[in-house]
Amino acid sequence: MTRLILPCLLVSSLLVSGCINRTPPTPALTQSQLDTALSNSETRMTENIANLCQDWQGQQQQHSEQLQQIENNQQQIDNSLASIQTQLQQHFDKPAQVVVAKPAECPKPSATPSSTKDLGNKIVVGRVEWLWIEAINRVYEARVDTGATTSSISALDITPFEKDGKRWVRFKLAPDDGDDSFEVEAPLVRYVRIRQASSDTLDRRPVAALTVRLGKMTEVAEFTLTDRTQMTYPILLGREFLRDVAVVDVARENVQPKPEIMAGQNQPAAVSKSKKK
């Protein structure tokens, strides 16, 4: 039995293998085809290598041009540095030049003579000027003081009173320390408080309006009434009187002409002083 099975298996195997190998095998390349394939491969490799070499040569050329540009720039920088160094060397080799400054020239003196009494629309006054007082038709010297705000005049026996419903003040104008004085009546403008330099207390003083003339300028000015008989000048002219009308030259005196006493105008007689002690 066994001997029969083995031959059957052998026959079956041969039949199956015959069915599987029905696909014809790939025929081998001929020598001509193989040579052609190798030639094509060699051609492609040659072209690729040639392209790579061409690219490499292009890059090399570009790098060479860039390097040449860098060298040119470096040469220009070296030339500039050499030029700067030469200029510096020439500068330091030169002897120092001494510059002599010209002395400042003083401004030329004004062509205006020293006797000028007017400056534009303002009068020029010195530290002392003659002042005419209409109330007594007399002329006295007054000290010009730009440090004082208000003007003042020497007065004694000051008495406020009412005249035609308005406030007035009567006082004795005391131009000096002598025994003569002149009684004056003038409108009372107001009262002011003034602190003396030698005292901390405030002194309440009346302010009177008086018509006065300085040079050719006639003004109604305000004067505080106070005893100035111990002062050198009986009248003091402050900033309120001088503002907008006068320019002060402290180096001069009596710049303005002395006003004349008004002809035909009465002069009050002198009266004896009555100083309050």
Number of domains the chain contains: 1
pTM of the complete model: 0.55
Residue 56 included in any domain: no
pLDDT in tens, 44-71: 898 889 888 888 888 888 888 888 889 8
Q: Report residue 33's pLDDT band, with 50, 70 and 90 as the boundaries.
A: confident
Which pLDDT band holds residue 133 (cuts at 50, 70, 90)?
very high
The region of weakest confidence among 163-177, 232-246, 259-273 is 259-273
Does 216 fall in a domain?
yes
Return the beta strands (E) in the chain as ranges: 118-119, 122-125, 128-133, 138-144, 151-163, 166-173, 180-195, 202-214, 217-226, 235-237, 246-248, 271-272
Interval 234-258 mean pLDDT: 92
Looking at residue 161, its pLDDT comes to 96
Q: What is the mean pLDDT of residues 255-271?
A: 82
More confident residue, 252 or 1: 252
Contact predicate 153/276, CB 8 Å? no
**Most confidently modeled range among 14-23, 105-114, 183-192:** 183-192
d(CA 249, CA 264): 34
| Whether residue 142 has pLDDT greater than 60 | yes
- With a cut of 50, say whether residue 42 has pLDDT above it: yes
Q: Who has greater pLDDT, 151 or 97?
A: 151
Residue 20 domain-assigned (yes or no): no
Asked whether residue 231 is assigned to any structural domain, the reply reads: yes
Q: Has residue 230 been placed in a domain?
A: yes
Range among 40-44, 162-166, 194-198 rated most confident: 162-166
Q: What percent of the chain has pLDDT over 70?
A: 77
Which CATH number belongs to the domain containing residue 141 in this structure? 2.40.70.10
Over range 198-204, report the average pLDDT: 77
Rounded to whole angstroms, the Cα distance separating 137 from 95 reads 80
Phi, psi of 51 (to 5 degrees): -65, -45
Q: What is the mean pLDDT of residues 12-25?
A: 57
Report yes or no: 184 and 136 within 8 Å, Cβ to Cβ: yes
**Helix (H) / strand (E) containing 91:** helix 31-93
By DSSP bridging, strand 217-226 and strand 151-163 are parallel
The candidate with the shortest Cα–Cα distance to 196, out of 153, 226, 160, 229, is 226
What residue numbers bound the domain in which 243 lies? 123-259
Across the chain, mean pLDDT equals: 81
Looking at residue 145, its pLDDT comes to 93
How many CA atoms, within 13 angstroms, populate the side-chain half-sphere of residue 79?
A: 6
Q: What is the pLDDT of residue 15?
A: 58
Backbone angles phi, psi at 38, to 5 degrees: -65, -40
In the structure, what pLDDT confidence band is assigned to residue 111 with cuts at 50, 70 and 90? very low
